[in-house]
Structures are given as C-alpha cells and as structure tokens.
Amino acid sequence: MIAIYLGMGVALLATSTWVFFGVAYFRPKARWSDDDARKALYRDRLNEIETEMKSRVIETVDSAELREELGVALLADLEGRDADGDEGSSRLIGLSLAFVVVAASVALYLHWGDPSAVSIRNVGSLVTNTNSTRGELDEAVQRLNVRVKKRPQDRTSWYYLALAYFKAERFAEAAEAFAKVQVPGDTPLVDVEVHWAQAAFLAAGGILDTDAQGIVDRIQTYRTDHPSVLELLTLDAVQRRQHERVVNYSDRALRQEIGGAQRDFFERTLVTARSQLSSARPHVNVFVDVRTIPKELSWLLVYARSESAGPPLAVVRRPLDGRDSFNVTLDDAVSMDPSRPISSVNNVYVVARVSVTGGANTHPGDMERLSEILIPNGTTVGLSFSEDPDVAESK
C-alpha cells in the first residue's frame, strides 16, 4: 500500500511539473500571424519606394538599398512565424506529455490501487462479530462474492468470505473459500488451515473424509499436536467408536496449556472413552496429591518404568493448573513407544515428578515420588507431595 501511495505521489508531482511548464514556459507571445497583412504592407512600401524614385525624392542607389532592407524585414517576419510554429509544437508536446502522465497515473492506480475497496468496508468486523445476524452474513457473502470475482487474487477477501460462509453454516462453501486463501508453496497459515479442516469436517457430517483428513495430515507435518486438530481427530474417533484412539488424542491435548472449555471437553471425553475399554487390560491407576508444592514447579509427569530397566513405558504429562490432585491412568493408550507398551512387561513401578520445565530430563529443584514394584493389573497407587518423608529431590 505504501508503494502505491508513493507511486501516485510521484506521478502527481510529475503531472504538476509538466502542466506548469506547458502553461507558463510555453505560453504564446504576440506576433504577426496574418500572411496577407504582411504581403499588403510589403507591397505598399514597394509602391512608396517606386513613387519616391520617380519623383526623384530618392536616388536609384538608395532605392535598391531600401528594397534590400525591406526584403530582410520580410524574411525576419517569416522566421518569426516559424518560431511561433516551433513554440506551438513545443507547447503541444508539453501538454501531451502532461496528459500521458495523468493517464498513466490513473492506469497505475487502477492496476495497483483498490478503487472497489469501499464495497467491502467494515465487512471484516461484520463476519467476526459474534452477534452478526443471518441477514447481515448473507449481505456480506454477496458483497464479498462480487469482490473476489473482480479480484480473485485478494486472499483477505477470500478469508472473510470463508468466515462468513462458516458462520452461516454453509460449510462446503466455506471449505472451498478457505482453499483459496492458502497458496500452495507459501508459508502455511496455521489458523486458516485449522478453520479449513473444521469446515471440511463439518461439511462431511462430522467425520474426517478424504479431503478433511488430507488437511489434517498437512497441519500435523508442522504442528503435531495442535489442540483444535486433536479435537477433530477425537470427534472422528468417537464417531468411529475407536476408544483407544480417543484416549490417545485426548491425552495429547491435555499435555498442553489449553483453554478451560477445551480442557473440560478433552477431560470428559477421556473419562468416557476409558470407561469403554476393557477393565482386564494391563493398566495402573495413579492418584497424585500436589498440595504444598513450590510455585515454581508448574508441570506434573507420571510414568511407569519396567522393573528391569529401560525408558518409560507409559507417560502422562499435565500442567499444574491450581488443582490439589490428579487422577491418571497408565496403559497402552499412552505408551511412550508403541513397540514397548506397558502390556509387554509383568512388573512396573510408577514415578511422579513435579517439574519446572515438564521435560523428560530432571531439573534442579524438581521433586519426585516413587511407588513400590507392582503388577499392572488395574491396581491403584497413591503418591503425595504433601508428606515430607518420601521426598526425593533431584540435584
């Protein structure tokens, strides 16, 4: 936009300069312009010379000199007329160039400028306003459709059109409009692609069809655990009754710091899905009391290790959000490595750690609690950070 205004300013300055020179510098000057008048005066003077010579007022020699001077004067007049023609041509050129600059300015503005922007004034606030009526959304859709037909490369207008379709629950059209916003090869626009995936999901009736799954897969290549994408995956798994997948997707979302409403959705879904799993599967229920922990510790990790050795088998990670306790379940659905599930061993022990970073490695100041060796057959173990004797503080 700055480049447009700069170009228009330069064009306007050039136009003003050309007009000034065309009017001021090349303005016409008063000169003889009537050829017939010149010829009549020349003939009258010749006649006077002839009369004066016959009456012997002047000599023959003087007559020749006067004739010569008269010819020189006439030649000067003719040259002056040519100069008038040259100046007229210069003036015409100057004014023509001024016209060309004006025309070029208009053409450049029409090409790079946006004379039709007034047609979508305030449409952005309209489609993002939660209180917009259906009539207002329909009007916005109409105006934006006119706009994108005239300017199909206007990605902002396509985005607002997609949002208007989405809010009007015209999900298939919203998905098509979102597809126009994300240009192949450009840096991915995460929010646009998430909205696009949601529109495609709803257009397919609440499942991930081929189109919606393709969008989700693309997002996961650069944002593996985007909460809104995990929400779509969770809802799709619920529809397909894939309870273990529901647990996995919900747990991955709950490992992050997300909004309260979204967190409530994943926690409810997780509990419901676990209730559908077989109670005979290998698992351990863990109750963790996190009262009285230092404020700088903001993450809880709970994991099961094999009695023998090796990395954790199942891991749950939660942000400490002010609650006093957590109930988590360690089973194959939260395996750290699918090739080493908790069901592949006979005995495990559980570790609970409150951490500064929430990372896999311990940090100075982290606190841990360890359970006894136990069989993962649905047993419940309690670990508390409010009791001093069992504290194992990392150094």
For tokens 């840096």, what's the residue? 187
Confirm if 165 and 145 have CB atoms less than 8 A apart: no
Using alpha carbons only, what angle is made at residue 75 by residues 69 and 79, rounded to the nearest 5 degrees? 145
Neighbours of 116 (CB within 10 A): 13
Phi then psi dihedrals of residue 120, to 5 deg: -120, 25
CATH topology classification for 119-275 = 1.25.40
On the question of pLDDT at 116 being above 70, the answer is: no
Nearest of 361, 360, 315 to residue 341 by alpha carbon: 315
Sign of CA dihedral 367, 372, 376, 377: negative
On the question of pLDDT at 315 being above 90, the answer is: yes
* Domain edges within the chain: 2-112, 119-275, 283-393
87 or 343, which is more confident: 343
Tokens linked to 230: 């995990």
How far is 16 from 39, CA to CA, in rounded Å?
Answer: 42
How far is 376 from 357, CA to CA, in rounded Å?
Answer: 28
Q: Tell me: the pLDDT tens digits for 218-253?
A: 999 999 999 999 999 999 999 999 999 999 999 999
168 or 9, which is more confident: 168
Region 122-145 average pLDDT: 86
47 or 390, which is more confident: 47
Confirm if 140 and 126 have CB atoms less than 8 A apart: yes
On the question of pLDDT at 84 being above 60, the answer is: no
How far is 128 from 130, CA to CA, in rounded Å?
Answer: 6
